[in-house]
Chains A and B, each alone.
Chain A
Amino acid sequence: MTEIFGKPLPVIMGQLLIGLINGSFYALLSLGLAVIFGLLNIINFTHGAQYMMGAFAAYFLLNKLGLNYWWAFAIAPLIVGATGVVIERLMLSRLYKLDHLYGLLLTFGIALIIQGAFRHEFGSAGLPYSIPEELSGGNNLGFMFLPKYRAWVIVASLGVCIATWFIIERTRLGAYLRAATENPAMVQSFGINVPRMITLTYGFGVALAGLAGVMAAPIYQVNPLMGADTIIVVFAVVVIGGMGSIMGAVVTGFGLGVIEGLTKVFYPEASNTVIFVIMAIVLMFRPQGLFGSR
């Protein structure tokens, strides 16, 4: 058997692929964070809780309304996005004139409330959610057994990331958004409703988190705390990629997933921390992040 640094090649290939799958979640979540940060200048600490809400929405759609995974894939992000719109209108919109750190603290508080409430209501052993029938089973790739659902996660996440990048970088709507980031007053004077655009942007970013939650539900348990620690890792991903950079969030999301996967082969105990080490190093030498411009 071929070996690299004493590890069999199939294991490494397998881990790379797994890393890519995890990277899909990092990419989706950090994409949402980056979109929000780009326009609102707020670090959305509630993102992990909203990711969890997406998974719960999928669970309820299935168990209360009998709507399957594909319906959840379409509807759950809208539901979560709608709650995001409410949060932005009622609370976040009052903070735009203050230091960014207040946004961080507020969303941290909201995350505690949401997670506490779900935990109170549903306990934390996790609720089961099955893989949709169309995607159960898997293919043997020779070096590993790849479940179809995981392959779908990579494809779907890549698709959503590219679509988002396209909307923001290549369409008129995206142009307004980017302009509003630079100079809201100017864009407002062109007759564009900037506050509403900000609200919808937050809603969109949050909906991405909800979507990630739906995709995660069949893989992990639907668990009130599933986003609590994930969010810190994703923060690190955003910081490494460069705050507010769409491209940076996506590329580093996938990239760090792969690096984390490799760490799991060579030094598994460090797999939770390797991303933070990379973040510290990046911040030392390139404080604006790998893809950041500011």
Chain B
Amino acid sequence: MTFKRKLLSTAAILALSAGAAHAQVSGNVVKIGVLNDQSGTYADLAGPGSVLAAKMAVEDFMAKDKSLKIEVIAADHQNKPDVGSQIARKWYDSDGVDLIVDVPTSSVALAVNQVTKEKGKALIVSTGASSDLTGKACSPNTIHWTYDTWQLANGTGKAIVQTGGDSWFFLTADYAFGHALERDTEAVVIKSGGKVLGKVRHPFPSADFSSFLLQAQASKAKIIGLANAGADTTNAIKQAAEFGIVKGGQNLAGLLVFLTDVHALGLEKAQGLIFTESFYWDLNDQTRAWSKRYGAAHGGKMPSMGQAGVYSGVLHYLKAVSALKSDDGTKVIAKMKAMPTDDPLFGKGSIRADGRKIHNSYLFEVKKPSESKGPWDYYKLRATVPAEQAFRPMAEGGCPLVAAK
């Protein structure tokens, strides 16, 4: 282990000196790989939309700065860590990719995080959720851009307990991401004075939630927390409506809900859901203008927060490459952390030493069908969590990068 670390640091020094000798862009082109789920459960909330967002970032960057040649490619990791790490390896080794973005599915994000560190390249995680990426698995080559499990748990959990939802029952996807989300939320609920009456873990993915919902119903908990994602969440919500759970006085808390999920559910079924996101297309004039452009190129669909994060992250990356006149992964990431961020979607922000991008976090409620003024008009803003409170304090994450300093 110490040997390996020594080797890594030697490699880093070598790379640094090589970079200093001729600071330039490898292969004369900055190559960006969008790695996500193009065809599975998360294809709508990431997928081709993220590729479009990355291309828009390149377009907008090129409009102001023509010094770089930039290329965007994409691949489908099928939500499998082995497929994802193999593509990442191939991209870095033989295709000259400098940056990988997006990477939904925590397990894949963690695997690609590892490969990126080993190869000294750059990774911006947007749709991936696990807060471990800036915790025990943090890396000098990774930035976690849009959101994480801690942020979701903290935003949604606290808000719900404060408004009277003080007894919880968890419906948890039985895998690492679900467990993490459940653990983080449970901690917040208890800390805020609520209690957890029970939990049930469902296989991933699951088509039928009726029996789990019955158990949740029997628990008499005020809040049923859905610690799952994508189709699991939408199915659970749909079936909860069928069993009259909300009518019976219990409320659902979607712990990870994307705009595209709400769209798939329809307002009739999704109304009243409360959850945390980092972005919504209808926040201000800038987000509306950008989302309109995005929608025009994407069949009228509005971006999810993950897709918006890809745009924002790629834009900042390109600024850093341009400022540095180099696409060396480790150095660019360091530069990105040093520069303040600013873009039309997330506004002004910053990146912490542990790789956590810091911005505001929003608590939304899904509108009633009668309140919606048109297609994609889905959310009401309930609260804004200011940037400095939205994310886990750096000291609590246990990131070795920070501890070393």
The reply to whether A11 and B218 form a contact with Cβ atoms under 8 Å apart is: yes
Any A CB within 8 A of the CB of B67 = no
The interface residues of chain B lying within 8 Å CB-to-CB of A229 are 207
- Closest chain A residue to B44, Cβ basis: A125
Instruction: Identify A125's interface contact among B217, B243, B261, CB under 8 A.
Output: B261
Shortest beta-carbon distance from A117 to chain B in Å: 11
Q: How large is the interface on B (under 10, 10 to 19, 20 to 34, 35 or more residues)?
A: 35 or more
Q: Given A123-B39, A123-B43, are A268 and B202 neighbors across the interface (CB < 8 Å)?
A: yes
The reply to whether B212 and A268 form a contact with Cβ atoms under 8 Å apart is: yes
The interface residues of chain A lying within 8 Å CB-to-CB of B269 are 128
Query: From residue 69 to 85 of chain A, which have CB atoms closer than 8 A to chain B?
Result: none
The reply to whether A145 and B243 form a contact with Cβ atoms under 8 Å apart is: yes
Q: How far is the CA of A219 from the CA of B207 in the complex (A)?
A: 9
Query: From residue 29 to 72 of chain B, which have CB atoms closer than 8 A to chain A?
Result: 39-41, 43-45, 47
Q: Given A221-B231, A265-B211, are A127 and B264 neighbors across the interface (CB < 8 Å)?
A: yes
The interface residues of chain A lying within 8 Å CB-to-CB of B235 are 126, 220-221
Query: From residue 197 to 254 of chain B, which have CB atoms closer than 8 A to chain A?
Result: 200-203, 207-208, 210-212, 214-215, 217-218, 230-231, 234-235, 238-239, 242-244, 248
The interface residues of chain B lying within 8 Å CB-to-CB of A144 are 214, 217
B200, B201, B208 — most chain A CB neighbours (10 Å):
B208
Any A CB within 8 A of the CB of B265 = yes
The reply to whether B266 and A124 form a contact with Cβ atoms under 8 Å apart is: no
Q: How far is the CA of A68 from the CA of B234 in the complex (A)?
A: 23
Q: Given A14-B214, A18-B214, A147-B243, are A268 and B201 neighbors across the interface (CB < 8 Å)?
A: yes
Any A CB within 8 A of the CB of B154 = no
Any A CB within 8 A of the CB of B127 = no
The reply to whether A128 and B264 form a contact with Cβ atoms under 8 Å apart is: yes
The interface residues of chain A lying within 8 Å CB-to-CB of B106 are none
Tally of A-B Cβ pairs under 8 angstroms: 99
Shortest beta-carbon distance from B330 to chain A in Å: 36
Q: How large is the interface on A (under 10, 10 to 19, 20 to 34, 35 or more residues)?
A: 35 or more
Q: Given A8-B218, A15-B214, A219-B242, are A128 and B201 neighbors across the interface (CB < 8 Å)?
A: no
Q: How far is the CA of A226 from the CA of B265 in the complex (A)?
A: 16
Any B CB within 8 A of the CB of A271 = yes
Query: Per-residue 0/1 for A261-289: is the Cβ within 8 Å of any B Cβ (1 yes, 0 no)?
Result: 10011001101100000000000000000
Q: How far is the CA of A94 from the CA of B243 in the complex (A)?
A: 48
Query: Per-residue 0/1 for B345-385: is the Cβ within 8 Å of any A Cβ (1 yes, 0 no)?
Result: 00000000000000000000000000000000000000000
Shortest beta-carbon distance from B110 to chain A in Å: 23
The interface residues of chain A lying within 8 Å CB-to-CB of B208 are 22, 219-220
The reply to whether B203 and A269 form a contact with Cβ atoms under 8 Å apart is: yes
Query: From residue 134 to 155 of chain A, which have CB atoms closer than 8 A to chain B?
Result: 138, 144-145, 147, 149-150
The interface residues of chain A lying within 8 Å CB-to-CB of B217 are 144-145
The interface residues of chain A lying within 8 Å CB-to-CB of B202 are 268
Q: How far is the CA of A264 from the CA of B210 in the complex (A)?
A: 10
The reply to whether B234 and A221 form a contact with Cβ atoms under 8 Å apart is: yes
Besides A120-B39, A126-B234, A126-B235, 18 other A-B contacts (C-beta < 8 A):
A11-B215, A14-B218, A123-B47, A124-B39, A124-B43, A124-B44, A125-B43, A125-B260, A125-B264, A128-B265, A128-B266, A150-B210, A219-B239, A229-B207, A264-B215, A265-B211, A268-B201, A269-B203
Which 9 pairs across A and B sit closest by C-beta, in order of nearness?
A: A125-B44, A264-B211, A14-B214, A272-B203, A18-B210, A18-B211, A147-B242, A11-B218, A220-B207
User: What are 12 contact pairs spanning A and B, CB under 8 A?
Assistant: A11-B214, A15-B214, A21-B210, A120-B39, A125-B45, A125-B231, A125-B260, A145-B244, A147-B243, A220-B208, A220-B235, A265-B211
